[in-house]
Copies of this chain bind each other. A is one copy, B any other.
């Protein structure tokens, strides 16, 4: 590909993005969840859709599960089912926010029985991981409070530390725990893991296999996300990404849709910090909601956006950039940086795909494939998957 040397090509080819099973189900806002024809009713149908994304892009070899949404009787069979479709089962995402017991918290709850229930849920997730061959347990905690005084901030943090330590003891030698932070929502006053600092402090207390998960939509307005990427890579604690984009809150839009230049800057720092090196500990994953757009092409568009911005980021002439930076040439450094961003790498990527037997234009190829029509016709009756099923 244009201007990419051998190292850059290797970095580029290391790119793989995990898809969340739930992106293929319906999602929405508190106001309304719109359904669409062809939406999966089962985890198998979600995996089939995810495998389709991989078939058209070559970028998405894994599917993340959400427990209990994706609970099946036989996870070994599910793993084989996925393998037959060409994908592996990936990160297991726990859910401690939809049971009535968790109304006032889960791992941080004042009631030790509720905490134990939440801990047990995570242990069950680890058992699932053992069956699915998943490496990562991802914990996103909805815990928090809505009103000042409602909870004891400090006590909740201490209980969180204790709960996490208990779960961590169950993490296998080849497994990892990643702790996701989020600025707000569903909690509206205080969230128990609101920022990277809290996640970092909590996982640092646990051990090497506990890492931070960075969701690109989970920050305060104006936050410089690529700085956090660089910092966590520097500290050796960046475990994974949840990719999406946002204009306002946790909008969960297609990654790169709201601010493609931001995605470019993030991928530049990922590469700069070795996050795409062979053997890198950084897992890339999508976490999005396709509320009004079609889901499968939404996921295809998403992985392509990450690929395109990765390719552009690899175009940055880092030697020239370093020179400009060292000499205080602000406009020169910025120009080198922007030149890569502005370069239209799409034809090169199309050629690269074609060489590998992939569709040059995955969006068009999917549209023409008839897959959507097929599932629309086939998936009649039953209950469409959504958050909660």
A residues with a Cβ closer than 8 A to B are 27-32, 34-35, 97-98, 100, 103-104, 110-111, 142, 146-154, 157-158, 183-186, 188-191, 194-198, 200-201, 219-224, 226-228, 230-231, 233-235, 246-249, 251, 253-254, 257-262, 265, 269, 272-273, 291-294, 297-298, 301, 308, 316, 321-322, 324-326, 328, 330-331, 333-338, 341-344, 346, 363, 387
Are B331 and A298 interface neighbours, CB within 8 A?
Answer: yes
Chain B residues near A111: list those with CB within 8 A.
326
Q: CA of A291 to CA of B259 in the docked complex: distance in angstroms?
A: 25
A252's nearest neighbour on chain B, judged by CB, is B188
- Chain B nearest CB: distance from A326 CB in Å? 5
Chain B residues near A186: list those with CB within 8 A.
28-32, 291
Are B293 and A146 interface neighbours, CB within 8 A?
Answer: yes
Chain B residues near A227: list those with CB within 8 A.
153, 190, 194
Are A103 and B34 interface neighbours, CB within 8 A?
Answer: yes
- Chain B nearest CB: distance from A84 CB in Å? 29
Chain B residues near A301: list those with CB within 8 A.
331, 335
Chain B residues near A183: list those with CB within 8 A.
222, 248
Are B331 and A224 interface neighbours, CB within 8 A?
Answer: no
Q: CA of A115 to CA of B363 in the docked complex: distance in angstroms?
A: 32
- Chain B nearest CB: distance from A115 CB in Å? 13
Chain B residues near A152: list those with CB within 8 A.
272, 321-322, 325
The 3 closest A-B pairs by CB, nearest first: A197-B197, A149-B337, A220-B220
Given contacts A31-B98, A196-B197, contact A325 B184 (CB under 8 A): no
Chain B residues near A269: list those with CB within 8 A.
153-154
Are A198 and B231 interface neighbours, CB within 8 A?
Answer: yes
Q: CA of A8 to CA of B137 in the docked complex: distance in angstroms?
A: 44
Chain B residues near A246: list those with CB within 8 A.
188
Q: CA of A272 to CA of B149 in the docked complex: distance in angstroms?
A: 12
Chain B residues near A184: list those with CB within 8 A.
222, 247-249
Q: Name, among A104, A147, A195, A291, the residue most crowded by chain B CB atoms within 10 Å (CB to CB).
A: A147
- Chain B nearest CB: distance from A295 CB in Å? 10
A99's nearest neighbour on chain B, judged by CB, is B32
- Chain B nearest CB: distance from A317 CB in Å? 11
Chain B residues near A308: list those with CB within 8 A.
342
A223's nearest neighbour on chain B, judged by CB, is B220
Q: Name, among A200, A273, A334, A342, the residue most crowded by chain B CB atoms within 10 Å (CB to CB).
A: A334
Are B157 and A234 interface neighbours, CB within 8 A?
Answer: yes
Are A32 and B97 interface neighbours, CB within 8 A?
Answer: yes
A246's nearest neighbour on chain B, judged by CB, is B188
Chain B residues near A224: list those with CB within 8 A.
189-191, 194, 247
Are B247 and A249 interface neighbours, CB within 8 A?
Answer: no
Chain B residues near A198: list those with CB within 8 A.
197, 231
A185's nearest neighbour on chain B, judged by CB, is B29
Q: CA of A219 to CA of B234 in the docked complex: distance in angstroms?
A: 23
Given contacts A196-B197, A249-B184, A249-B249, contact A110 B325 (CB under 8 A): yes
Are B259 and A197 interface neighbours, CB within 8 A?
Answer: no
- Chain B nearest CB: distance from A289 CB in Å? 8
A–B complex contacts, Cβ < 8 Å, 17 sampled: A29-B186, A30-B387, A32-B98, A104-B328, A146-B251, A146-B253, A148-B265, A149-B337, A150-B292, A150-B325, A248-B249, A249-B249, A259-B261, A260-B261, A294-B330, A301-B335, A331-B363
Given contacts A104-B328, A334-B148, contact A189 B32 (CB under 8 A): no
Chain B residues near A273: list those with CB within 8 A.
154
A308's nearest neighbour on chain B, judged by CB, is B342
Given contacts A184-B248, A184-B249, contact A334 B261 (CB under 8 A): no
Q: CA of A328 to CA of B109 in the docked complex: distance in angstroms?
A: 10
